[in-house]
Amino acid sequence: MKALRAARMERCIGCHSCSLACARQVHSFLSWNKSGIRIASSGGLSTGFEAKLCLACKPAPCAQACPTGSLAQRRDGGVIQKKNLCIRCGECAKACPVDAIFLDHQVNPYVCIHCGRCVEFCPHDCLEMEELPKTPKDKGDSDD
Amino acid sequence: MIRDYFRIMKVDLTTGKASLLERPGRDQYLGGTGLAAMLFEEFGHMDRDWDDPEQPLIFTIGPLTGYYPLMSKTCCAFRSPYHNQYAESYAGGKSALSLRFADLDALVVVGKAARLSALCVGSRRVETRDVDYMRGFDALRTGRIVRKLFPGSGRRSILRIGPAGENLSAYACINVDTYRHFGRLGGGTVMGSKNLKAICILGDRGFDLPEGKAYSDLYKDIFKQLTTTEMMSKYHGLGTAVNINPLNELKSLPWKNLQQTSSPLADNISGERFAKDTLLRSAACAGCPVGCIHVGFVREQFQANNQYLYRQVSYDYEPIFACGGMLEITEAPQVLRLLDVIEKEGLDVMSTGVALAWATEALEEGVISRDETMVDLTWGNVDAYMQGSELISRPPNEFYRLLAQGAMKCAQKFGGADFACVLGQEMAGYATGEVFFVSEALGFRHSHLDSGGYAYDQKYEDKNVTRALDFLVNDGRERIVLNCMVACLFSRGVYKDELMAQAMEAVGYGALNDSLSAIGDRVQRLRWRLRLGMGYDPAKVVIPKRYTEVTTWKGPIDPEYLEALRTGYAARIMEMGAPLPETEE
C-alpha cells in the first residue's frame, strides 16, 4: 500500500497543477481548494512553497474524530472516505495535526486518498508514491 | 464557471458599495480584452480625463481561464495617465485563477477612496479597509502586510502599488504576487489616483466540471503538449532572457540608448550568464506548468565582518534589455540590484530603464546638466541609476517630474527628442527593423506583443508594404482572440485553431467556435474606436530620428520604407477604428 509524499517541495514552482489535477480527476471540480493536496506559499512567493497533504497517519486522528465512519482507517496509513456517511460536522479537519483537510463552505471535507493521480501533473517531480510499512492483517482495518 | 453571460463585480470606492452585475455578450466579446473594452464602453467616460474618479479600472479573465493550462492571465484596462487614452496591460501570477475562483469574469473599480485603502474581494466577500499607514510603503513591503490583512495563503492574489503609483508617475505598474506585473502604461498610477494601495482577490470557490472523460483527457493532452514542446523548454529553461544572445547576434539588441544594436559585452548579461551566476529558482503563474518566472539572487555585504544580506529578484529579457544593455550595465548581479529598486518603487521596468538611458545621453550631450539629474547618470553607473529610479518615483524637481511622465515629455521640455527611444511609450527590446518600429509606435498597446512585427522583420528581407501591413493587422487580430481567452501568449504555438476549438467544445462553449474570428474582428475595431474616440491620431505619431540611424542585420534602416509603413498602418488603424454605421446602432 502506497502513500503520496510531497518529497521534493524545494523544487515546487507554485503552478498548482497537482491541486487542479486532484480536484479535476478525483472530485470532478474545477478548484485549487477542493483537492487532497493544496499548495501555499510559505510566507510570500520569495520563501517557496509548501504542500498541505495527508501524512497517512496510523492511527489517523481524523478517522478517530469522525463520528459516523465517513472517514475510516486505511490499513497501512491514511483514510478511506465514504462521502455518503458524512454529516459535515468538520471534526476531521479540527483533528488533523497538519491542516491537510479542506472544508468547503458547506463543510464538505476534502482529503488525500493516496491514489497518486496528481503525480504525473507535477512538472518538477516534487511528488512521489511511497510504499508504506505493511501492517499485519489482523492489526488493522482493510480497505481492499 | 461556464456561462453564456458575464458576472461582474463593480466596486465604488467613493461610496464603499459594491454591486454584482450580469451582462450578456459572451458570444460577441468572449472575455478578456473584448470584455474589458465592452465594460469600458459601459462604465468609462470618453469625455473625462484618466484621473477622473469615475473612470473605471477593469480586470477581466476569459472563458477558459483555469480550465486549461496557460489560460492563466488577466487583462487590465483603463484610461492611461501616459497618453490619456484607452490602454491595456496583462499579467499572470495568481490573479487570473483567483478571479475565476472568486466567480468573477470581471472586477471593475470606480470612484476614489477618501483615504489610502485596500480592497478585498472573493466569492463571499467584499471589503474595503483603510490602510493610510501604508502610504509610501514599497511594493514588496505592502505585499507582506496585505498577506496578513486578508489571509488565504496560496489561493489568493495580491495586486499592489509602490510609491511611484501614489506619486502618480505615468508609468507606475501594478505589482502582482511579487514577481509579475501589469507593467505598462500606468495601471499603478490609476490605482494611486483612486487612493487604492492594494487589491486582494480570494479564490475561494470551486465549480462542477463537465461530466464524462472528454474534458479530463483533453486537459491531459494539452498539458503534455505544453510541457514537452521545444518552445516551452526555452521558457522553462533559460526563460525569456535566452533572447539576449540571439538578438545581439542579429544586431537587434538595443544598447546604450540605441546608439548600438549589439555589443561584445552583451554575453555578460545573457540568459546563460544570468542562469549560471544568479539563478536561484523558477516559479510559475497559477495554472501554468511551464514556470517561466526566473528568480535571481544578489547578496550584499552591509557591514564588516562578513555580514551579508540577500535579495531575490525576478528577471526576464525585457528588464535585462532595459536596465542592462540600454544603460550598459554589464554584470548580471548589478542589473538585479537595479531591478530590485525599480520593483520596490513600483515602476514599469522597461519605461524606467529606457527613460534613464535617454537621460544619460542627454547629460552626456549637455542637453541637461547635473543640476537636473542630481546624480551622475553615466553608462554603467548602477548606483546612480538606483538613485535615479527612486527620484523618478519620488520626484524632487521639475526634471524628474517630467521624466516620470515619460522620456519624450521630458525631452520636449529640455531637448533631445531625436534620441528618446519612445515608440508610443519607452520602447521594447527589439531593434529588429522597420516593421517592428512602426508596429510598436502606432500599435494599440505600444507593445511588442500587439503583433509579431519583430518576427516579421527577421523573416522577410524585402520591403513589401502591403504584405507587412496585412501581417500586422491579421496577426494582431489573431492575438486578440488569444487575449479574449487571456491565454499566456507563450502558448500561442500550441493553442492553434483546432485545439482551441476542441478546448472550447469540451467545456460547453463549442457553439462559439464558428464566431471566434468574427469576435476578433469586432474587438479589434471596438478597441480602436475607444482609442480614437479619446483623441488618438496615428497619422501624427512621430518615430524619433534615432530609429533612422540604426543598423540591423539587414543594414541601415530605410527611411522611405519606414515612412510608407507608418502612413499605411495609420490609415489601416483609422479604417479599423471608424465609427459604426448608423444602422448598427
Q: What is the DSSP string of B552-569?
A: ETTEE--HHHHHHHHHHH
Q: Which residue from B164, B163, B131, B170 is spatially nearest to B150, judged by alpha carbons?
A: B131
Quick check: is A143 in a domain? no
Q: Which residue from B376, B324, B333, B375 is spatially nearest to B353, judged by alpha carbons?
A: B324
What is the DSSP code (8-state) at residue B260?
Answer: B
pTM: 0.96
The confidence score (pLDDT) of residue A138 equals 61
Joined grid coordinates for residue B97: 485563477
pLDDT digits (tens, 9 = 90+) for A21-76: 999 999 999 999 999 999 998 765 567 899 999 999 999 999 999 999 999 999 99
The confidence score (pLDDT) of residue B220 equals 97
Helix (H) or strand (E) holding B371: helix B370-373
In chain A, the residue whose alpha carbon lies closest to the alpha carbon of B282 is A13
Inspect the interface and report whether the beta carbons of A123 and B227 lie closer than 8 Å.
yes
Task: Indicate which of B209, B295, B315 best probes the interface with A, i.e. most A CBs within 10 Å of its own CB.
Answer: B209
- List, in order of start, the domains of chain B with CATH numbers: 5-202 (3.60.9.10), 235-418 (1.10.569.10), 426-584 (1.10.599.10)
* Phi, psi (degrees; rounded to nearest 5) at A38: -130, 140
| Chain B residues interacting with chain A (CB cutoff of 8 angstroms) | 66-67, 69, 97, 100-101, 124, 143-144, 147, 153-155, 177-179, 203-209, 211, 215-216, 219, 223, 227, 236, 281-291, 293, 295, 312
Joined grid coordinates for residue B415: 531637448
Say yes or no: A38 contacts chain B, CB-CB below 8 A. Answer: yes
Quick check: is A88 in a domain? yes
Say yes or no: A16 contacts chain B, CB-CB below 8 A. Answer: yes
Joined grid coordinates for residue B374: 542630481
Query: Which sign does the torsion angle of CA B271, B274, B277, B279 carry?
Result: negative
Query: Structurally, how many domains does chain A consist of?
Result: 1
In chain B, the residue whose alpha carbon lies closest to the alpha carbon of A41 is B154
- List CB contacts of B540: < 8 A, sequence separation 6 or more: none
The confidence score (pLDDT) of residue B231 equals 64
* Band of residue A143 on the pLDDT scale cut at 50, 70, 90: very low
Q: Which residue from B468, B449, B457, B450 is spatially nearest to B557, judged by alpha carbons?
A: B457
Say yes or no: A31 contacts chain B, CB-CB below 8 A. Answer: yes
* In the block, residue with C-alpha cell 511511497: A130
Report CA-CA distances (Å) from A56 to A25, A135, B324, B480.
20, 13, 50, 48
Quick check: is A135 in a domain? no
Quick check: is A26 in a domain? yes
For residues B346 and B189, the answer to whether their CB atoms sit within 8 Å is: no
Report CA-CA distances (Å) from B69 to A123, B301, B420, B485.
12, 41, 39, 12
CA torsion, ordered B343, B317, B155, A61, to nearest 10 deg? -110
Residue A142 has pLDDT above 50, yes or no: no
Quick check: is A92 in a domain? yes
Cα–Cα distance for residue pair B507/B31, rounded to 1 Å = 15
Concatenate the DSSP letters of all residues of A70-85 into one string: SEEE-TTSSEEE-GGG
Cα–Cα distance for residue pair B529/B531, rounded to 1 Å = 5
Letter string b/e over residues B358-388, b meaning 16 or more CB atoms within 10 A of that residue's CB:
bbbbbbeeebbeeebbebebebebbebbbbb
Quick check: is A17 in a domain? yes
Amino acid identity for residue B120 in this structure: C
Kindly list the averaged pLDDT for each block of 10 residues, start to end, along chain B of length 585: 93 97 98 98 98 98 98 98 98 98 98 98 96 98 95 90 98 97 98 98 95 94 89 85 96 97 98 97 95 94 94 97 98 98 98 98 98 98 98 98 98 98 98 97 97 93 95 97 96 92 96 96 98 98 97 93 98 97 66
Domain that holds residue A28: 2-130
CATH code: domain of residue A50: 3.30.70.20
Task: Calculate mean pLDDT across residues A2-18.
Answer: 96
Query: Which sign does the torsion angle of CA A129, A135, A141, A143 carry?
Result: positive
